[in-house]
Structure 1
């Protein structure tokens, strides 16, 4: 199961459903042919970087409107906080790294959360550093400082990754940073490495102004893991399965469009988030495309019970999970995209 890492050089059903106006209020009730849209909140996986553009594409292209849904978008700060938002009813849907869901569920911290579609068919988790840091392989992380958000999946995964990669995790210092601070702190030398999705290389390279970027992908060491996934509460999944299917259908349609038209998707993102660089965002989406589509022509968003079982087994071997976790406890297989 272990293999040498490769280095590549070069982010309660509280859905506010619209209700008919009261009689005599002077407002017209929605007609039966055009019911009021369901209003939900979506939390992005990590900030508003290019990799998150697909939700804005789904809005701009009218995919959510066609599904009868109005979506408020909130930039996320990492999988841990995103899980808390869903479980606390502050959002109905969120992008949560599936490995974070598994680790949190095994620790009893994700009870009531359920995955309903995969955004990435393989993990994008990685560490990034720059030329001159002295880091070119996992073992070089010992004695170094790594920056990441406090609730990042990369931080959750690191002890298991370190064990399989032969790294003494106790010799690595972690500091907490906000998503927008990561690349800048790495570029300025405040930290030696940062937690980052592999698709974040263009963002890091842009901040580093030409310095060579080194990527250490976790997927080279910890195999069989999905990446980010659409996550909701079990209450929403069981109480409003039609809403879940409509939302995920529209969101995944936006995801497919975004990776097929990265420049257009990047312009849409920049229109909603002016601080984002459209060229960098398009590069992120281009890198993300191979991670989105499943092998064999299966529909985007699909997951298999067998792969979830393998992911659980791999994480147990890495020491990240205890016994007792089952695929059905974290995935609603009946709500996954069927094609």
Structure 2
């Protein structure tokens, strides 16, 4: 190739590269900023969201999404209510409680992530508390914002025990499992995949524990989902749907390849225990995300009759007098089509 022709080829390639770079910059400049908060730390169950970010699914929807860790489901609700964040991964039940106390700031869930909630109670087998009846008169511990702690009255009603006889001790999240092991409390409440693995990390295996999951007690609650600020829902409905579409793609990828999901988590927190977080992610998928309802109906939506029953149970637990309707708690208007929300079990 003559030198002049080679120089022309290089120049053309340079122009093309600059054009692509300018186009990418223009797209980035036009992207709508979205501040998204998780409910908890960067752990296995956050993989679906981090994968969507890593793969560029939010960018494909014209969104510039930042993802921050959280400090609890109740805190995630207030982060959106305060205007600090646009969208949050939060406990739907805590949102119902917040709405009852703050009707002028009421929000709606728009997508369910944990179709079955991970709420659970734990005791050591050596304590002898091996039935719900033996919980009466005992002391349980959890942070004040812990969702299963706050919903314990509904658990007590469903199991027929005297919930008022159970005393509660508050502590920081990091002290919950150590206090159980030391005997400072007789039992604890927490997310199943969080407390179980935290206890395992402290040398207490599942075989050493008595565990009661709320769903096994007849509480057909929904768990954590996505809530958005009313302003975002009203002003940018297409952006909300695009966000949800990207989230579904992220979860689809993680369910197909959980280890890749953990790589996405490790990218945000290099200090995670990869094996532990893979176990946590698999627990969340198998017990909370990929339920029979989700397998047939797709991720994100609700069964209205089930949600109504859940509202009945939640309003009892929180002592809410003005019970909300399903339409006050959840909206399906932003959901992508059902065929786009189908998940496939891991092989």
Shorter-chain-normalised TM-score: which range?
Answer: 0.7 to 0.9
- Count residues in correspondence: 312
1:232-311 aligned at under 5 Å gives the runs 232-290=228-286, 291-293=288-290, 294-295=293-294, 297-311=296-310
Q: 1:90 Cα deviation (Å)?
A: 0.9
Q: Distance in 1 between matches of 2:99 and 2:317?
A: 16
Q: CA RMSD in A?
A: 2.7
Q: 1:30 Cα deviation (Å)?
A: 8.0
Greater helix proportion: 2
CA spacing shift, 1:29–1:280, aligned 2, 3 Å: closer
Q: Distance in 2 between matches of 1:156 and 1:71?
A: 31
Instruction: Give the aligned partner of residue 342 of structure 2.
Output: none
Please give the secondary structure, in 1, of the residue aligned with 2:239: helix
Q: 1:179 Cα deviation (Å)?
A: 3.2
Confirm or deny that 1:327 pairs with 2:321: no
CA spacing shift, 1:49–1:194, aligned 2, 3 Å: farther
Instruction: Give the aligned partner of residue 127 of structure 1.
Output: 121
1:13-162 aligned at under 5 Å gives the runs 35-108=29-102, 111-162=105-156
- Check whether the contact 2:122–2:187 (CA below 8 A) recurs between aligned residues: yes
**Can you give the 5+ residue segments of structure 1 that lack an aligned partner in the other structure?**
1-27
- Check whether the contact 1:162–1:168 (CA below 8 A) recurs between aligned residues: yes
- Check whether the contact 1:38–1:70 (CA below 8 A) recurs between aligned residues: yes
Q: Distance in 1 between matches of 2:223 and 2:47?
A: 16
Q: TM-score, normalised by structure 2?
A: 0.80
CA spacing shift, 1:233–1:198, aligned 2, 3 Å: same
Confirm or deny that 1:173 pairs with 2:170: no
Instruction: Give the aligned partner of residue 15 of structure 2.
Output: none
2:223 equivalent among 220, 227, 241: 227
Please give the secondary structure, in 2, of the residue aligned with 1:76: coil
Q: Distance in 2 between matches of 1:98 and 1:144?
A: 28
Greater strand proportion: 1
Confirm or deny that 1:202 pairs with 2:197: yes
- Check whether the contact 1:183–1:208 (CA below 8 A) recurs between aligned residues: no
- Check whether the contact 1:303–1:336 (CA below 8 A) recurs between aligned residues: no
- Check whether the contact 1:46–1:179 (CA below 8 A) recurs between aligned residues: no
Please give the secondary structure, in 1, of the residue aligned with 2:151: helix
Q: Distance in 2 between matches of 1:319 and 1:84?
A: 17
